[in-house]
Each structure stands twice: as C-alpha cells, then as structure tokens.
Amino acid sequence: MSKDLRAVRGVLFDMDGTLYDSESTSIFAWAVAGREYGLSIPRRFMVECIGLPTRDIEEKFYKELSRDIDYKEFRARKLKVMSDIIESAGVDFKPGVHEMLACIKKLGLLSAVVTSTTTSRALYNLKAGGILESFDTVVSGDMVKKGKPAPDCYILAAKKLGLKTSECLVAEDSRNGILAASAAGCVSVLIPDILEPDSDMLAAADYVKKDLTELAELLEGAQR
C-alpha cells in the first residue's frame, strides 16, 4: 500500500540518473577509459556500478576487471571524459527537474541531494547545472561508512534537514538507491532510467513514476 504523502516535509534526490541524464554519459566514459587502458568492460559491469559508492566500485573493479591498473588513475580519466562532455555540451537534465524544484519551493518543503559519488564531484555537477543553491544540503558517498543500498546516506540526509526519515520522500532511479530509501523508512519513489526495474526494486518502491513532472503533480495534489 502506498504511503501517505501528506506527512512529507522534505524531498531527497539521487543525482545521477534522477536529476541529471548522466548514466549514459557515464557508460560512454567507462568505455572510452577502458579502451585507453586496454580493457573490454562488459555493459553489465557498468550498469551494476550505478548507484554504488566510489569505494565499492573500486573494489569491484579490482575483483572483476584488473588488479594491474590503478583504479584511482582510471577513475580520474573516466571523470575527465565526463567533464569534457559537460563543458562542451552542458548538463543534460532529466525531464521535470525544474518543475519539481518549483513544486518544492511552492510547497515550502526542504530538499537535499543524496548521491553515491564523492563530495567534490557532486558539488562540481550541481554547480555546472546551476542548481546547487536549490538544495538545503548535499550528502555524498564519502560522508557515510556504508553506501547504498545501506540506508545510511538517507538517514544522514534526514538528520541534516532536522526531519524523521518517514517525513522524507526519496526520488531514485537505481536498484541500490531505491533499496536504500526503503530501508531508511522514507517514502520511496522509483523513476526508472536505463536500468529495467526488477521485482526487488518494485517491491521497495512506494510509488513508480515516469519522470519528475509526474512526481511533482502527485506531491502537489497530495499536499493541497
């Protein structure tokens, strides 16, 4: 049964794949860096990394791809590819981002970005898109001991906003993210991106929406 949205006082957003259409860019960057380092990286591996914190991706990289390549150097090259794309083409927002931010402001709700990436990368991306000031706080993967799918990041975000997790709505696109939101006790909203939802994702989601425009309409209707 879907949770009541009238108690929601804060909205927590995943960044990549939820606010920004960046997952496809990330996969492209994985492939580019992989070729440069002589690696043939399966798409499955890239998709499985979606929503994971950096340290978990590093462990997965060494376990499944190569122990002979310095992951930090590899990651720096991958991020450079992504940064070059952002600088040349700009940030590509997911549908409904600005409508959702306007809805939050109209309803007087608090907001946060909760991402598995590092603080420096999160701030870079949010500044590049011109939306950093739209949020009350940012929680990144290097702020918690256990990343998604553990609930720690969403629990911390709620604490930073001075709210209970039950008063927070989470918008997520990834498997790890939606499981984390559900485990934290938040109202969990799945907005699928490139990853087809599996049964666990659907079971963890209180709501499933096509995009943030649909979520804004749902939230505004519930809080009138």
Give the number of residues written for the chain: 224
Is residue 16 flagged as an active site residue? yes
Please name which of 79, 63, 57, 66 lies closest in space to residue 37, comparing C-alpha atoms.
Answer: 66
| Active-site option among 14, 152, 173, 211 | 14
Q: Kindly list the strands in the beta sheet with 10-13, ordered across the sheet, starting from the edge strand earlier in the chain.
A: 137-139, 110-114, 10-13, 168-172, 187-190, 207-208
> What is the 8-class DSSP label of residue 217?
H
Amino acid residing at 67: R
> What is the 8-class DSSP label of residue 52?
-
| Active-site option among 16, 152, 206, 211 | 16
User: Across the chain, where does the E strand assignment appear?
Assistant: 10-13, 110-114, 137-139, 168-172, 187-190, 207-208
CB 201 within 8 A of CB 190: yes
CA separation (Å) from 120 to 3, 81, 140, 196? 34, 16, 9, 29
Amino acid residing at 158: A
Is residue 14 flagged as an active site residue? yes
Query: So which residues are the catalytic ones?
Result: 14, 16
